[in-house]
């Protein structure tokens, strides 16, 4: 094609109103994913199929791009404002970057419609629109001839709902074509069907879904069906349009359809050609006698017939009626004849869509498939992918707990009292840093509170600071299988991006390395502060937590005891005393640790002008406060003063203060026993003489009970208050040392660990709730849940190279921290079924709420509030090209160590399982010998250190499913590698457990992956 340079230059200088579109864009050439130069700003003018590039609006044209034999790739990300022009000739792609997303979209539309193919597409769309208008006009004309009274009686349009089973999809159907006509006689067609919906109220055509591409046949039978979820607005009057395309270049078409917005029709390009289309009413399909329609495909002008298309109504609980035939497969054509027989099987899909589960799952995307089995029958598969509201709910609850915990810790540091100048300056520095970190948590919580829109964090947002606590792409991936001879089955996998601190980066590695390095450095800072091991600091946090939990409980039980005494109620008095004794004993034993004694001494040395005095005779604190029930009652219990300043420190003083709580309780117990004994004697004597006199005696004795117990209860409270004051200060001093030894790294590591744990916990809570709902009717699983605990298996696909090694280190620590999480199932008291999180760092309890009817199905142990343990294990195998570099030139020790450590945890769980569960708890095909063999095989594969040994993943997943565990699959963003792994696992399950025909394994895999890629492109 020849052009005159002068004419083009004149054309480029025409007035602005002459051009189809113009504006500023940043432009450069791209080869593959590499930009040849940095994008430069250019003034762009579009006229017809010519794109003029100029340095500025008034300068000469520097380049002209001819928009023929090219197509536009538009990215669906909300933040990406770039598009790419790809040329069929193979020349470098043209990268264009707009100033905003709306500007980017308008340029994409304008460029896509600028060539001759875009013009042809417009013409075809107009022709199809004319056909639809003609169809609608016939009903409108008929309406015009109705009497006015009948027209008025119609009023507002009323649409007929489709009858369906509760919580099941509104409509599902499968598709097949016959006798398609190709443009040329010798061409073998590669076809797919695009499904669009015409809503009766709006008369707007909306693209809904499409099938997979079936290659090399004119009679394609599509394995991918069409499903409309329960909430979709579809009625009998709704029209479904089916458009058949012939794909000339499969790879190009796959890219094009995956990047198009849902509301746009695909533009015609060199990769595909229109064959024919047809339309039907939903009511015609639903009411048809055979629940099947055979429709004629016609060209866009409505004249030529190009084949037929069969639409079959699908119900997951039934197989198709009709004659039984066999399935024939052909390597070239992939032809199939449907097997038709009717059996009624018990469906299970209705059990999992209950209100409490719907509260945590939203925006489901459903796909329907039909695959042949090895015995020439059909199985149906419904695949569902859903977001979860827990992606934001759990992190917000967790951050709120962090804020409360940190505010409490800061106050405890301030309450330490007077300290020597060195320690006081240290405390001021620590509090300043802690306040700054606390402010950051509060700002993050406020930002999350403002979030609206999607209930998950997409991969392009993983580096955003305000969303760093939110898991990436957290979704439920569910496969519901209905096969002719086997019971319906559900297979769930939670997919999520690897829990990691992406915003903070991985320049210095991840948590596993950073924590080890920090601990080594902290040991060498003893000259500035006192070193306490991580175990001791964890113990200090536990003691403080026990104080904050038990002190108010003991105080309330003591008040209840006095109230019972004032009412002279023996039974109530006994119950109150029992509760008071139990909580006080827990309180006393909480301080039965050498750490408290040593911390008190260390705190005293930090006071101004301390003097130490060695005790003459050492005493055993364990013996003195061991059994509070058998200690002598003290005749006089003196309340100890606070820790002395500027005087000698008696190391035995803590033992006396601590033991006085037990002695005070014994005094209360002895007094209650004496009161009850006297009451029994007096009641028996007075009752024999005069019943009315006995009543008067009771009224008088009620006041005596209260008066005699009151001073003893007050003494107990005073002794307990003294213990609390000293213990709180000593444990706060331990935490001061922990923080002071590593500022600011200590707080930054805590923040990083909180971020990673928040992402991991959101996924765990989602997995537990879903597993609980699906296992409510499985008594063996419920017994295993409260007897042994729940196995949670994470499949990691991260490489051990560069940044992903740091992500793996973060992920390993975050998943390990989940061992500190316990679950508790409670009965919901309202319609809010979201889980409640309580506790502190190192120990969290997740309360899962169930409706009353579901709660009644649980074993008594769970209903009584038994805490349920989690056993998380992580197995990682890098599978991408970066792992190849790591294996050849880097180090895979991290992956090997993680797999070996978690294998031991898995063996420990299996050992507990075999010890606590009866032998018949597993189904017949999951015998213990089978599990032993799988564990041994997994052990051998881990020891083999084979490159990219994906057998480890398959074995770990199989063991998890056989042990009723929860499955997770994770990669960097839970997109490409995750979807490849999940689809392979699903097809392998269909082959091994549901007899998928061996000739259809690859095609089923391709079919699922074409859908998965579109769903996971977030």
Distance separating alpha carbons of residues 729 and 706, to the nearest angstrom? 34
For residues 454 and 439, the model is more confident at 439
pLDDT value, residue 683: 64
Q: Which of 1011, 1010, 960 is nearest to 989 (CA)?
A: 960
Distance separating alpha carbons of residues 389 and 398, to the nearest angstrom? 14
Q: In which residue are the tokens 């997303």 written?
A: 101
For CA atoms 542, 543, 548, 550, the dihedral sign is positive
Burial bucket for residue 640 (CB in 10 Å: 0-12, 13-18, 19+): middle
**Which tokens hold the place of 95?**
């990268």
The phi and psi torsions of 346 (rounded to 5 degrees) equal -75, 120
pLDDT value, residue 155: 43
Give the lowest-confidence range in 62-66, 349-353, 446-450, 721-725: 349-353
Query: In this structure, are residues 978 and 971 in contact, taking their beta carbons and an 8 Å threshold?
Result: yes
Residue 146: is its pLDDT beyond 80? no
Active-site residue (options: 434, 529, 960, 971): 971
Using DSSP bridges, classify how beta strands 224-228 and 361-372 pair: parallel, antiparallel or unpaired: antiparallel
Cis amide leading into 744 (omega within 30): yes
For the residues 657-661, what does the mean pLDDT come to? 82
Give the lowest-confidence range in 235-239, 848-852, 893-897, 921-925: 921-925
Q: In which residue are the tokens 């997919």 written?
A: 495
pLDDT value, residue 805: 94
Of all helices (H) and strands (E), which one includes residue 31? strand 21-31
pLDDT value, residue 623: 37
The separation between the first and the last C-alpha atoms of the chain, rounded to the nearest angstrom, is 41
Q: In which residue are the tokens 């002068």 written?
A: 6
Distance separating alpha carbons of residues 193 and 128, to the nearest angstrom? 16
Using DSSP bridges, classify how beta strands 272-281 and 239-247 pair: parallel, antiparallel or unpaired: antiparallel
pLDDT value, residue 259: 34
Mean pLDDT, the chain, whole residue set: 81
- Considering 91-105, 351-365, 646-660, 866-880, the range whose residues carry the highest mean pLDDT is 866-880
pLDDT value, residue 168: 77
Phi-psi map region of 322: left, alpha, beta (phi>0 left; psi -120 to 50 alpha): left
For the chain, counts of helices (H) and of strands (E): 27, 29
The pTM (predicted TM-score) of the whole model is 0.74
Using pLDDT thresholds of 50, 70 and 90, give the confidence band for residue 687.
Answer: low
The phi and psi torsions of 573 (rounded to 5 degrees) equal -65, -45
Q: In which residue are the tokens 């020790």 written?
A: 893
What is the 8-class DSSP label of residue 527? T
Q: Which of 822, 807, 759, 816 is nearest to 395 (CA)?
A: 759
The phi and psi torsions of 454 (rounded to 5 degrees) equal -60, 145
Query: In this structure, are residues 296 and 265 in contact, taking their beta carbons and an 8 Å threshold?
Result: no
Burial bucket for residue 15 (CB in 10 Å: 0-12, 13-18, 19+): exposed
Which percentage of the chain shows pLDDT scores above 90?
38
Residues ≥6 apart with Cβ < 8 Å to 122: 113
Strand ranges (DSSP E) for 637-789? 648-650
pLDDT value, residue 14: 87
Using pLDDT thresholds of 50, 70 and 90, give the confidence band for residue 354.
Answer: low
Query: In this structure, are residues 321 and 340 in contact, taking their beta carbons and an 8 Å threshold?
Result: yes
pLDDT value, residue 303: 72
Query: In this structure, are residues 495 and 985 in contact, taking their beta carbons and an 8 Å threshold?
Result: no
Using pLDDT thresholds of 50, 70 and 90, give the confidence band for residue 410.
Answer: very high
Residue 244: is its pLDDT beyond 80? yes
Distance separating alpha carbons of residues 586 and 199, to the nearest angstrom? 66
Of all helices (H) and strands (E), which one includes residue 706? helix 691-740
Residue 526: is its pLDDT beyond 80? no
For residues 138 and 590, the model is more confident at 590
For the residues 925-932, what does the mean pLDDT come to? 68
pLDDT value, residue 113: 81
Q: How far is CA 911 from CA 639, 906, 917, in A?
A: 51, 9, 10
Residue 771: is its pLDDT beyond 80? yes
DSSP states of 977-993 as a string? HHHHHHHHHHHHHHHHH
Distance separating alpha carbons of residues 476 and 387, to the nearest angstrom? 7
CA 278 to chain centre: 41
Distance separating alpha carbons of residues 629 and 585, to the nearest angstrom? 9
Using pLDDT thresholds of 50, 70 and 90, give the confidence band for residue 364.
Answer: confident
Which percentage of the chain shows pLDDT scores above 70?
80
Task: Quickly count: other Cβ atoms within 10 Å of residue 178's Cβ.
Answer: 14
* 818-835 pLDDT, tens digit each: 999 999 999 998 888 999
Distance separating alpha carbons of residues 330 and 217, to the nearest angstrom? 10
Residue 610: is its pLDDT beyond 70? no
Residue 296: is its pLDDT beyond 80? yes
Distance separating alpha carbons of residues 208 and 262, to the nearest angstrom? 7
pLDDT value, residue 299: 85
For the residues 13-29, what does the mean pLDDT come to? 88
* 119-135 pLDDT, tens digit each: 776 776 676 666 665 55
Give the lowest-confidence range in 596-610, 896-910, 987-1001: 596-610
Using pLDDT thresholds of 50, 70 and 90, give the confidence band for residue 310.
Answer: very high
Burial bucket for residue 1015 (CB in 10 Å: 0-12, 13-18, 19+): middle
* Residue 741 is among the residues annotated as catalytic for this protein: no
Query: In this structure, are residues 743 and 429 in contact, taking their beta carbons and an 8 Å threshold?
Result: yes
Residue 1016: is its pLDDT beyond 70? no
Alpha helices in 415-510 (DSSP H): 421-450
For CA atoms 182, 183, 187, 188, the dihedral sign is negative
Residue 87's DSSP bridge partners are: 70
pLDDT value, residue 229: 84
Distance separating alpha carbons of residues 110 and 46, to the nearest angstrom? 8
pLDDT value, residue 320: 45
Using pLDDT thresholds of 50, 70 and 90, give the confidence band for residue 611.
Answer: low
Q: Is 91 helix (H, G, I), strand (E, B) or coil?
A: coil
pLDDT value, residue 953: 94
Query: In this structure, are residues 356 and 850 in contact, taking their beta carbons and an 8 Å threshold?
Result: yes
Residue 200: is its pLDDT beyond 80? yes
For the residues 1011-1018, what does the mean pLDDT come to? 54
């Amino acid at each position: 094609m020849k052009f005159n340079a002068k004419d083009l230059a004149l054309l480029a200088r025409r007035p602005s109103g002459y051009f189809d579109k113009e504006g500023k864009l940043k432009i450069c050439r791209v080869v593959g994913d590499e930009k040849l130069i940095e994008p430069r700003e250019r003034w762009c003018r579009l006229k017809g199929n010519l794109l003029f590039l100029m340095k500025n609006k008034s300068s000469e044209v520097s380049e002209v791009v001819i928009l023929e034999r090219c197509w536009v790739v538009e990215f669906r990300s909300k933040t990406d404002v770039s598009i790419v022009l790809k040329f069929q000739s193979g020349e470098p792609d043209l990268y264009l970057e707009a100033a905003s997303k709306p500007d980017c979209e308008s340029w994409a539309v304008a460029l896509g419609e600028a060539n001759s193919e875009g013009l042809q597409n417009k013409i075809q769309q107009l022709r199809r629109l004319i056909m639809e208008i003609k169809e609608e006009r016939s009903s409108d004309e008929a309406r015009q001839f109705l009497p006015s009274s009948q027209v008025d009686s119609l009023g507002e349009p009323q649409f007929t709902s489709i009858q369906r089973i509760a919580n099941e999809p509104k409509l599902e159907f499968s598709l097949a074509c016959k006798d398609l006509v190709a443009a040329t006689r010798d061409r073998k067609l590669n076809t797919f069907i695009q499904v669009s919906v015409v809503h009766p109220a709006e008369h707007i055509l909306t693209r809904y879904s499409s099938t997979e591409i079936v290659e090399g046949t004119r009679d394609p039978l599509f394995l991918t069906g069409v499903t409309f979820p329960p909430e979709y607005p579809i009625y009998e009057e709704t029209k479904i349009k089916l458009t058949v395309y012939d794909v000339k270049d499969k790879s190009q078409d796959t890219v094009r359809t995956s990047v198009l917005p849902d509301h746009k029709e695909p533009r015609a390009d060199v990769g595909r050609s229109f064959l024919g289309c047809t339309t039907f009413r939903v009511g015609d399909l639903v009411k048809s006698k055979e629940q099947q329609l055979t429709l004629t495909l016609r060209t866009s002008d409505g004249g030529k017939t190009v084949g037929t298309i069969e639409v079959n109504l699908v119900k997951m609980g039934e197989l198709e009626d009709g004659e039984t035939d066999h399935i024939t497969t052909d390597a070239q054509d992939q032809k199939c004849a449907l097997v038709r027989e009717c059996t009624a099987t018990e469906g299970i899909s209705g059990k999992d869509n209950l209100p409490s589960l719907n509260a945590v799952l939203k925006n489901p995307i459903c796909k329907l498939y039909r695959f042949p089995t090895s015995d020439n029958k059909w199985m149906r598969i419904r695949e569902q992918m859903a977001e979860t509201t827990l992606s934001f709910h759990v992190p917000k609850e967790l951050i709120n707990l962090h804020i409360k915990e940190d505010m409490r810790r800061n106050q405890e540091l301030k309450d330490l009292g007077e300290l020597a100048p060195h320690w006081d300056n240290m405390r001021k520095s620590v509090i300043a840093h802690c306040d700054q970190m606390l402010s950051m948590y509060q700002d993050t919580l406020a930002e999350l509170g403002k979030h609206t829109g999607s209930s998950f964090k997409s991969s392009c947002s993983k580096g955003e600071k305000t969303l760093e606590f939110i898991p990436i792409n957290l979704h439920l991936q569910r496969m519901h299988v209905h096969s002719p001879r086997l019971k319906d089955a559900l297979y769930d996998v939670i997919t999520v991006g690897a829990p990691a601190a992406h915003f903070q980066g991985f320049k210095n590695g991840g948590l596993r390395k950073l924590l080890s390095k920090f601990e080594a450095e902290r040991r060498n800072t003893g000259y500035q502060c006192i070193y306490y091991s991580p175990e001791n600091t964890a113990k200090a946090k536990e003691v403080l937590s026990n104080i904050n939990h038990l002190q108010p409980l003991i105080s309330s039980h003591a008040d209840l005891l006095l109230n019972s005494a004032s009412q002279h109620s023996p039974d109530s008095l006994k119950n109150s005393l029992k509760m008071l004794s139990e909580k006080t004993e827990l309180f006393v034993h909480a301080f039965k640790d050498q750490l408290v004694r040593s911390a008190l001494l260390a705190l005293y040395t930090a006071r101004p002008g301390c003097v130490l005095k060695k005790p003459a005779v050492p005493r055993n604190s364990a013996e003195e406060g061991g059994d509070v029930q058998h200690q002598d009652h003290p005749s006089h219990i003196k309340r100890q003063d606070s820790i002395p300043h500027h005087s000698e420190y008696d190391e035995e003083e803590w033992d006396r203060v601590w033991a006085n709580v037990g002695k005070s309780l014994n005094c209360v117990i002895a007094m209650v026993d004496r009161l009850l004994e006297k009451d029994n004697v007096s009641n028996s004597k007075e009752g024999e003489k005069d019943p009315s006199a006995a009543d008067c005696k009771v009224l008088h004795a009620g006041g005596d009970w209260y008066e005699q117990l009151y001073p003893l209860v007050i003494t107990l409270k005073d002794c307990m208050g003294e213990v609390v004051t000293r213990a709180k200060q000593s444990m706060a001093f331990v935490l001061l040392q922990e923080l002071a030894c590593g500022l600011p790294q200590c707080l930054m590591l805590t923040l990083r660990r909180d971020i990673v744990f928040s992402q991991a916990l959101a996924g765990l809570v989602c997995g537990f709730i879903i597993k609980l709902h699906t296992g409510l009717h499985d008594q063996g699983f419920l017994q295993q849940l409260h007897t042994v605990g729940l196995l949670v298996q994470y499949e990691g696909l991260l490489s051990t190279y560069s940044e992903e090694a740091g992500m793996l280190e973060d992920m390993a620590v975050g998943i390990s921290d989940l061992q500190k999480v316990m679950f508790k199932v409670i009965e919901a008291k309202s319609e809010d079924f979201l889980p409640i999180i309580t506790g502190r760092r190192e120990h969290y309890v997740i309360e899962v709420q169930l409706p009353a009817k579901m709660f009644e199905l649980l074993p008594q142990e769970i209903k009584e509030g038994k805490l349920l343990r989690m056993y998380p294990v992580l197995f990682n195998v890098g599978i991408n090209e970066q792992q190849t570099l790591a294996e050849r030139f880097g180090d895979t020790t991290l992956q090997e160590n993680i797999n070996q450590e978690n294998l031991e945890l898995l063996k420990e769980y299996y050992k507990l399982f075999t010890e606590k569960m009866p032998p018949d708890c597993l189904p017949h095909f999951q015998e213990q010998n089978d599990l032993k063999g799988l564990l041994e095989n997994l052990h051998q594969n881990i020891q083999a250190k084979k490159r990219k040994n994906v057998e480890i993943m398959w074995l770990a997943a199989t063991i998890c499913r056989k042990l009723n565990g929860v499955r997770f699959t994770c990669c960097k963003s839970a997109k490409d590698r995750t979807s490849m792994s999940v689809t392979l696992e699903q097809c392998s399950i269909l082959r091994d457990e549901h007899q998928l025909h061996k000739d259809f394994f690859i095609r089923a895999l391709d079919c699922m992956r074409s859908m998965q890629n579109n769903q996971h492109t977030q």
